[in-house]
């Protein structure tokens, strides 16, 4: 499995872009610069920010940097994004000034102004109202509200203590923020912030680099508030802002902010005026997607050490820088970068070779690193299910089927599943002719829902599936495609009920009336399938599949004896006492209880039986 977090290790050949951004910041000298890193969700903007930070760290001998990393999304709903960014910048500079023993007075003055603006915002104007003799609101208003309640005799001793606390806070607030700063106003404080900020950086002899990420995850008000805070510091000497965001989402936030204004130029220019240098995260081509998948497989290999993995990653990125010459990153190349790769890892390189072209071209993935990683995680989970249940699914077959499930036409995928279910050997035989023609490069004339470029290319991806038993692959994918074999011989109604019961066994009782209307042979088939699923349970207390089996037994009493026989055959160590009350009212339960009493079930189980059937002891 792979985590969905940003990384400072380059798997996407972004180092060249990150080095370019670092060079732009370095060459700017003491001049301000703002850089926008844009790209859609999941394309690697956060990793790009990490790589830019690493590139600047490598140039620390050429320029002294102070870094601020700010994620506005983390503050959303908990704090004002504008005030949060100001405070993070000010406190970072204060920490650095103390460490450097320079610029501390300027930074502390800066922090005072930031705190003044923060308190003025959070108290809803209470400080200004107090200074001007206006009715109190915010913190002071709360104290006034409690005071009125006290005069009316409607508060407790706890409320009295709260009143005293609020009054104390109000007095402190007024003393600290109003009396010493009677001439303070937002415009004056903003100008003071800019002045002290620039003077502090000059005195410290450093360049501030602010790296802002996840701005496009925020709601429009948070996005705009953060951009307004950025604007406060923009174009001041010795500053560099690197802002990672999907420019489409930024434009959406601006439209919401200026709702009612139809001028699209305003929407476009708002963000453009903040950004001097726009840089777009490079889209991944087939070579990059293939390399990315292979590096993910390398990263997860338990047979390779950290140093070996890093050496492989470095060589892959060096090769990617030369792909414009026609060189490739494929399985053959990967086997040249390490002398003794594990066989299972080489097999996964084959998987990457096969899937990369479709991962790049399919619109549902389109080379998106996050979606690729999620696809591989889903594949890993299903392979783990396969191993746990002893199904023995071929990973290449499963990956190809999952790719169709993810990117293919939904009706076409349903038709494929239906064909597999209806075939005696679980094969999609109708694919044979199409696969033959596609691999021969012949033109395919297909009707809906098969007539798509994706499906034509999917047919060419190894392995061929027409002659493969796909029931195992469906079994491990059954949360999306319940496996119903031809032996089931069910009507459409019966097949629908079986699929519903297998997917939501705890809701089976709600299907009672529909089950009762089924012919008895079909109910028998449904019970066969439910008991087959029940055989996978390792503990028999009250698993959801038991509810399904009981619901079927209620619809057809003959199935109750079958269920009773199944339960008697469970290993005694799997039986827990909680199952006993569940079965107490079933007419066939006596035989089950008798069988358990004479077996090696635990003492709690026997005591539970004695409580529900005391006359039978």
State the SS3 of 341-389: CCHHHHHHHHHHHHHHHHHHHCCCCCCCHHHHHHHHHHHHHHHHHHHHC
pLDDT at 256: 82
Average pLDDT on 359-379 reads 86
**Count of Cβ atoms closer than 10 Å to residue 295 Cβ:** 22
Q: How confident is the model at residue 611 (pLDDT cuts 50, 70, 90)?
A: confident
Closest CA to 416 of 360, 426, 113: 426
pLDDT of residue 482 exceeding 80: no
Asked if residue 211 lies in contact with residue 92, where contact means CB atoms within 8 angstroms, the answer is no
Radius of gyration of the chain (CA): 34
CATH number for domain 14-59+67-83+92-102+205-282, candidates 3.40.50.300, 3.30.1640.10, 3.40.50.10860, 2.60.15.10? 3.40.50.300
DSSP H or E stretch at residue 18: helix 15-27
pLDDT at 433: 93
pLDDT at 206: 92
Q: Torsions phi, psi of 496, nearest 5? A: -65, -40
Weakest mean pLDDT among 182-191, 377-386, 408-417: 182-191
Asked if residue 574 lies in contact with residue 538, where contact means CB atoms within 8 angstroms, the answer is yes
Q: How many CA atoms lie within 13 A of 347 on its CB side?
A: 10
pLDDT of residue 312 exceeding 90: yes
DSSP structure class, residue 452: S
Q: Torsions phi, psi of 280, nearest 5? A: -105, 135
pLDDT at 484: 47
Following DSSP, what letter does each residue of 129-140 receive, concatenated?
A: HHHHTPPP-HHH
Taking the C-alpha atoms of residue 213 and residue 71, their distance in angstroms, rounded to an integer, is: 5
pLDDT at 135: 41
Taking the C-alpha atoms of residue 145 and residue 133, their distance in angstroms, rounded to an integer, is: 17
Average pLDDT on 415-436 reads 90
Residue with structure tokens 């956060």?
A: 46
Taking the C-alpha atoms of residue 460 and residue 435, their distance in angstroms, rounded to an integer, is: 7
pLDDT of residue 67 exceeding 90: yes
Q: Where are the alpha helices (DSSP H) in 175-276?
A: 186-204, 220-233, 247-257, 264-274
pLDDT of residue 434 exceeding 90: yes
pLDDT at 183: 57
**Mean per-residue pLDDT of the chain:** 81
Looking at the DSSP bridge assignments, the partners of residue 244 are: 37
pLDDT at 127: 42
pLDDT at 184: 59
The proportion of the chain whose per-residue pLDDT surpasses 70, expressed as a percent, equals: 84
Q: How confident is the model at residue 242 (pLDDT cuts 50, 70, 90)?
A: very high
pLDDT at 112: 85
Taking the C-alpha atoms of residue 331 and residue 422, their distance in angstroms, rounded to an integer, is: 37
202-214 tens-digit pLDDT: 999 999 999 998 8
pLDDT at 120: 63
DSSP structure class, residue 394: -
Sign of torsion over alpha carbons 151, 155, 160, 163: negative
Task: Measure the N-to-C terminal CA separation of the chain; round to a whole number of Å.
Answer: 52
Following DSSP, what letter does each residue of 524-546 receive, concatenated?
A: HHHHHHHHHHHTT-S-BSS-HHH
In this predicted model, which residue has the larger pLDDT, 429 or 178?
429
**CB contact burial 371-396 (16+ within 10 A = b; e otherwise):** bbbbbbebbeebbebbeeeebebebb
Q: At 458, is the secondary structure helix, strand, or coil?
A: helix
pLDDT of residue 566 exceeding 60: yes
284-299 tens-digit pLDDT: 888 999 999 999 999 8
**Count of Cβ atoms closer than 10 Å to residue 534 Cβ:** 20
Residue with structure tokens 């009125």?
A: 148
pLDDT of residue 486 exceeding 60: no
Taking the C-alpha atoms of residue 251 and residue 227, their distance in angstroms, rounded to an integer, is: 12
Taking the C-alpha atoms of residue 532 and residue 170, their distance in angstroms, rounded to an integer, is: 70
Average pLDDT on 357-368 reads 85
**Count of Cβ atoms closer than 10 Å to residue 530 Cβ:** 25
Taking the C-alpha atoms of residue 570 and residue 573, their distance in angstroms, rounded to an integer, is: 8
Average pLDDT on 361-374 reads 85
Q: How many CA atoms lie within 13 A of 509 on its CB side?
A: 5
Most confident of the following: 19-28, 35-44, 368-377: 19-28
Taking the C-alpha atoms of residue 126 and residue 511, their distance in angstroms, rounded to an integer, is: 61
DSSP structure class, residue 259: T
Weakest mean pLDDT among 25-34, 532-541, 545-554: 532-541
DSSP H or E stretch at residue 492: helix 492-503
pLDDT of residue 78 exceeding 70: no
68-77 tens-digit pLDDT: 998 877 777 6
The proportion of the chain whose per-residue pLDDT surpasses 90, expressed as a percent, equals: 20
449-480 tens-digit pLDDT: 999 989 998 999 888 999 999 988 888 876 54
Q: How confident is the model at residue 151 (pLDDT cuts 50, 70, 90)?
A: very low
Looking at the DSSP bridge assignments, the partners of residue 38 are: 245, 280
In Å, the largest CA–CA distance within the chain is: 93
DSSP H or E stretch at residue 211: strand 207-213
**Count of Cβ atoms closer than 10 Å to residue 99 Cβ:** 10
Taking the C-alpha atoms of residue 466 and residue 434, their distance in angstroms, rounded to an integer, is: 9
Taking the C-alpha atoms of residue 230 and residue 362, their distance in angstroms, rounded to an integer, is: 38
Asked if residue 70 lies in contact with residue 212, where contact means CB atoms within 8 angstroms, the answer is yes
pLDDT at 3: 67
């Amino acid at each position: 499995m792979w985590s969905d977090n940003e990384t400072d290790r380059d798997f996407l050949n972004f180092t060249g872009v990150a080095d370019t951004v670092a060079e732009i910041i370095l060459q700017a000298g003491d001049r301000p610069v703002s850089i926008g890193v844009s790209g859609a969700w999941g394309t690697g903007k956060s990793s790009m920010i990490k790589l830019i930070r690493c590139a600047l760290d490598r140039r620390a001998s050429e320029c002294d940097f102070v870094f601020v990393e700010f994620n506005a999304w983390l503050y959303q709903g908990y704090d004002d994004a504008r005030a949060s960014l100001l405070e993070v910048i000010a406190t970072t500079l204060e920490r650095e000034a103390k460490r450097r023993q320079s610029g501390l007075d300027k930074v502390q003055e800066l922090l005072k102004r930031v705190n003044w603006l923060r308190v003025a915002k959070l108290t809803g104007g209470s400080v200004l109202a107090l200074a001007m003799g206006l009715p109190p609101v915010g913190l002071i208003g709360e104290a006034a509200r409690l005071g009125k309640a006290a005069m009316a005799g409607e508060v407790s001793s706890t409320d009295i203590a709260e009143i005293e606390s609020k009054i104390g806070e109000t007095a402190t607030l007024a003393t600290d923020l109003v009396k010493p700063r009677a001439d303070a106003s937002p415009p004056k404080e903003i100008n003071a912030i800019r002045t002290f900020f620039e003077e502090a950086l000059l005195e410290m002899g450093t360049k501030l680099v602010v790296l802002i990420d996840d701005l496009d995850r925020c709601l429009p008000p948070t996005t705009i508030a953060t951009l307004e805070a950025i604007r406060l510091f923009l174009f001041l000497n010795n500053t560099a802002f690197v802002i990672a965001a999907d420019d489409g989402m930024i434009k959406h936030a601006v439209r919401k902010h200026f709702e009612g204004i139809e001028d699209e130029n305003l929407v476009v220019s708002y963000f453009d005026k903040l950004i001097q240098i726009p840089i777009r995260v490079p889209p991944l081509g087939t070579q990059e997607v293939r390399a990315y998948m292979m590096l993910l497989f390398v990263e997860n290999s338990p047979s390779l050490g950290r140093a070996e993995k890093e050496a492989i990653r470095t060589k892959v990125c060096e090769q990617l820088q030369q792909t414009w010459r026609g060189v490739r990153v494929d399985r053959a190349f990967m086997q040249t970068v390490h002398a003794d790769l594990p066989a299972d890892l080489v097999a996964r390189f084959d998987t990457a070779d096969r899937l990369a072209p479709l991962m790049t071209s399919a619109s549902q993935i389109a080379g998106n690193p996050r979606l690729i990683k999620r696809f591989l995680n889903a594949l890993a989970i299903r392979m783990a299910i396969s191993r746990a249940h002893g199904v023995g699914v071929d990973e290449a077959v499963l990956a190809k089927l999952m790719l169709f499930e993810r990117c293919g036409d939904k009706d076409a995928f349903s038709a494929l599943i239906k064909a597999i279910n209806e075939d005696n050997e679980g094969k999609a035989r109708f694919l044979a002719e199409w696969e033959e023609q596609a691999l021969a490069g012949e033109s395919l004339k297909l009707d809906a829902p098969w007539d798509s470029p994706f499906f034509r290319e999917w047919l060419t991806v190894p392995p061929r599936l027409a002659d493969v038993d796909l029931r195992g692959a469906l079994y491990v994918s059954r949360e999306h495609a319940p496996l119903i074999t031809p032996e089931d011989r069910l009507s459409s109604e019966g097949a629908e009920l079986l699929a519903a019961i297998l997917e939501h066994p705890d809701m089976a009782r709600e299907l009672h009336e529909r089950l009762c209307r089924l012919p008895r042979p079909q109910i028998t088939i449904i019970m066969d399938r439910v008991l087959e699923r029940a055989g996978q349970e390792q503990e028999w207390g009250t698993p959801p599949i038991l509810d399904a089996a009981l619901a079927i037994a209620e619809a057809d009493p003959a199935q109750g004896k079958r269920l009773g026989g199944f339960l008697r055959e469970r290993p005694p160590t799997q039986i827990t006492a909680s199952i006993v009350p569940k079965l107490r009212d079933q007419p066939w339960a006596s035989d089950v209880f008798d069988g358990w009493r004479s077996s090696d079930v635990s003492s709690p189980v026997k005591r539970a039986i004695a409580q529900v059937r005391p006359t039978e002891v």
